[in-house]
Amino acid sequence: MTAFDPIKIRSEFPALDQTVNDKPLVYLDNAATSQKPKAVLDALERYYTRDNANVHRGIHELSRRATVAYEDARIKVAQWINAPDSDELVWTRGTTEAINLITIAWGLDNVGEGDEILISTMEHHSNIIPWQLLARRKGASLRYIEMDSQGRLILDDLPSLLSERTKVVALGHVSNALGTVNPIKDIAAAAHEVGALVVVDGAQGAVHTKVDVQDLGVDCYAFSGHKMCGPTGIGALWARKDLLESMSPYQGGGEMIHFVGREESTWAKVPHKFEAGTPNIAGAIGMGAAVDFLAGVGMDAIAAHEDELLAYAIEQVGSIEGVHIYGPESLEERSAVVSFTLGDAHPHDISTILDAEGIAVRAGHHCAQLVMKHFGIAATARASFYLYNTKDDVDRLVEGLGIVRGIFG
Ligand code: C6P
C-alpha cells in the first residue's frame, strides 16, 4: 500500500476543488454527507450511459449487465462489514429506512403489550421515532440508557434496564452529535443474555473504521452510502439470515414475490423479499464503487489520519476562548466530530459566518434533540472530518472562529 496522502486523496474529489464566497472550500460537514470521489461518479456514469436497465427482470444484455453490477455491489458491501453471506444484505434508501424496516417487518410480529424497547438518549431521531411508533402501535414501552456529563452511555445502568421484557436493544455505533463511540460488542453480549435483539444504527460507524458485524456480535446493522463516499438514496440493512427469513415482508410489490394468487401470495427468498419495486440500481453500484475506493485507500490508514486530525482539531478549537466542546474527553472514545458552542454566539450565526469564509459546518440539533436537552442547549456547531480533510482545514476553521469571536466578543 502507498503512503496515505490526503492531498492526493483530495484531488480525487471534484467537489472539493471549488471556491465558496471567493474562498477555497473547506468542507467540514461530512457527518451530514461526504463528498464523492471520481471513481463513484464514473461508476454512476458508466451504469447510466452503458448498462441502464432494470434488474432481475429482462433477458437482454443490458439487464444482465445491470443485474450483475447490482449484485456484485451487494457482495462488496456485504464483505465490507464482514457479513457471512451477501444474501443478508438488504438494500434500503439508507439508515433511516433500514431501521424502519426492522421496526415494521420484525417489530410488528415480535413486540407486544408490556414489552420493552431499550434505546438511549444519545440516538439520532432515526433510531428513536421508528421505535416510538412501534411502541405506540403495540402497547410496548421505551426505556432509555442515559448519558453522563461527557456524553457517554451510563452502562452501569444496563443490568437494571435489561430484563426478559426487553425485546430489542437499538443503539447508535457512533453519535453524530457528539462523536461518542459506543462499546457495542459489550452491550450486545449483555442484551443477548436476556434474549433481546440487537440493532445498531451504523450511519456514523461504517464510515470511519472497519466494521465487522460478526465480531460485534449484533443481529442487525443499518448504514448509509452517502456518508461513506457513495451516492445518496442508498444504504443497507444487514441482518442475520435466519432473522431475515423469519420476518414478514416490509413492502409489497414487484420483485419481492415468489408466487401471486388472488388471496394469498408467497415471498421471494431473502434479501429480495425486502426489496419491492425497482431498486436504486445506480445507487447500489455507486455504493459498491465507494467501498472499493475506501478499501483501496485502506480503512486503517483512514482511521489513523482521522484520529490525528481530531486530536489537532480538539486542541486548536478547544483552546479558543469561549469554546465548549461536547463529547468524551478521551480521544479513544470518540470519532471524527467536533461539536461545540462559542460563548453566546448562536450556532446558526457561527455557521453563517464560517460559510462566508468558505467553510462548511453544520449547526443545529443534528436530529438529536435528546442530546441537546441532556446538555441544556438548543444547538451546537459541528465540524466533522473525513479522509480528505487536512490540518490546513482545521487552521482555516480556527481562523474563521476568530472572526466569530471578533463579532460576538
Ligand atoms: N445524520 C447528520 O448530519 P440517513 O439520513 O438515513 O442516511 O441517516 C440517518 C442517520 C441515522 N443515524 C445517525 C447516527 C445519523 O448520523 C444519521 C444522519 C446526518 O448528522 C443527517 S441528520
Mutate-to-test residue for ligand 1 from 28, 30, 96, 372, highest number of ligand atoms within 8 A of CB: 96
Task: Count the alpha carbons within 13 Å of 127 in the hemisphere toward its beta carbon.
Answer: 33
Same domain, 327 and 259: no
> Rg for the chain (alpha carbons), in Å?
22
Task: Examine the residue annotation and report whether 220 is marked as an active-site residue of this protein.
Answer: no
What is the number of domains present in the chain?
2
What confidence score (pLDDT) does residue 58 get? 78
Mutational pocket test of ligand 1: of 204, 223, 229, the residue with most ligand atoms within 8 Å of the beta carbon: 204
Residue 78: inside a domain: yes
User: Does pLDDT of 51 surpass 80?
Assistant: yes
**Any domain includes 322:** yes
Q: Has residue 409 got a pLDDT over 80?
A: no
Is there an atom of ligand 1 within 6 Å of 166 CB? no
User: What local confidence, expressed as pLDDT, does residue 42 receive?
Assistant: 98
Position 41 pLDDT exceeds 60: yes
Is 96 in the same domain as 60? yes
Measure Cα distances from 170 to 100, 110, 145, 155 in Å.
12, 15, 10, 14
* Shared domain check, 377 and 245: no
Domain boundary among 295, 314, 349: 295
Q: Does the pLDDT of residue 397 top 90, yes or no?
A: yes
Identify whether 1 is part of a domain: no
pLDDT of residue 57: 81
> What range defines the domain where residue 67 resides?
41-295
* Mean pLDDT taken over the chain: 97
Per-residue pLDDT tens digits for 250-283? 999 999 999 999 999 999 999 999 999 999 999 9
Same domain, 183 and 76: yes
Q: 172: domain CATH number?
A: 3.40.640.10
Q: Give the pLDDT of residue 2.
A: 65
Let me know if residue 76 belongs to a domain: yes
At a CB cut-off of 8 Å and minimum separation 6, what does 193 contact? 162
Dist. CA 287–CA 77, nearest whole Å: 7
Domain membership flag for residue 161: yes
**End of a domain among 243, 260, 295?**
295
Q: Are both 288 and 325 inside the same structural domain?
A: no
| Distance from C-alpha of 124 to C-alpha of 119, rounded to nearest angstrom | 10
- Mean pLDDT over 278-300 rounds to 97
Determine whether the shortest distance from the Cβ of 362 to ligand 1 is under 6 A. yes
Residue 246 in domain: yes
* Average pLDDT of the segment spanning 142-150: 98
**pLDDT tens digit sequence for 164-178:** 999 999 999 999 999
pLDDT band at 3 (very low <50, low <70, confident <90, very high): confident
pLDDT of residue 281: 98
Residue 216 sits in the same domain as residue 311:
no
Query: Is residue 240 domain-shared with residue 379, that is, in the same domain?
Result: no
Domain match, 320 and 183 both: no
- Cα distances from 65 to residues 51, 68, 272, 293, in angstroms, run 6, 5, 18, 21
Determine which residue's CA is closest to atom 16 belonging to ligand 1: 176
120 CB under 6 A from ligand 1? no
Q: Is the CB of 225 under 6 A from ligand 1?
A: no
Asked if 201 and 54 sit in the same domain, the reply is yes
Here the cell at position 202 is: 451504523
Return the ligand 1 atom nearest residue 29 CA.
Answer: 3
Same domain, 248 and 196: yes
Which percentage of the chain shows pLDDT scores above 70? 100
pLDDT at residue number 138: 98
The yes-or-no verdict on residue 336 having pLDDT over 90 is yes
Q: What is the mean pLDDT of residues 66-73?
A: 98
Residues 68 and 22 both lie in one domain: no
The contacts of residue 178 (CB under 8 Å, 6+ apart) are 122, 151, 326, 327, 328, 334, 337, 339, 371
Of the candidates 39, 301, 367, 398, the residue annotated as catalytic is 367
Q: How far is the CA of 32 from the centre of ligand 1 (A)?
A: 6
Residue 61 exposure: Cα atoms within 13 Å on the Cβ side? 1
Say if ligand 1 is within 6 A of residue 126 CB. yes
Closest residue by Cα to atom 21, ligand 1, is 32
Residues 194 and 221 in one domain: yes
- Across the range 42-68, mean pLDDT stands at 95
Which of 259, 275, 295 is at the close of a domain? Answer: 295
Q: Tell me, in angstroms, the distance from the centre of ligand 1 to residue 122's CA.
A: 13
Ligand 1 neighbour 172 (Cβ under 6 A): yes
- How much is the average pLDDT of 62-72? 97
Asked if pLDDT for residue 1 goes beyond 90, the answer is: no
| 91 within domain boundaries | yes
User: Does a structural domain hold residue 80?
Assistant: yes
User: Residue 159, Cβ neighbours under 10 Å: how many?
Assistant: 11
**Distance from Cα 267 to the centre of ligand 1, integer Å:** 31
With a 6 Å cutoff on the Cβ, whether 339 touches ligand 1 is no
CATH of the domain at 311: 3.90.1150.10
For ligand 1, atom 1, which residue shows the shortest CA distance? Answer: 32
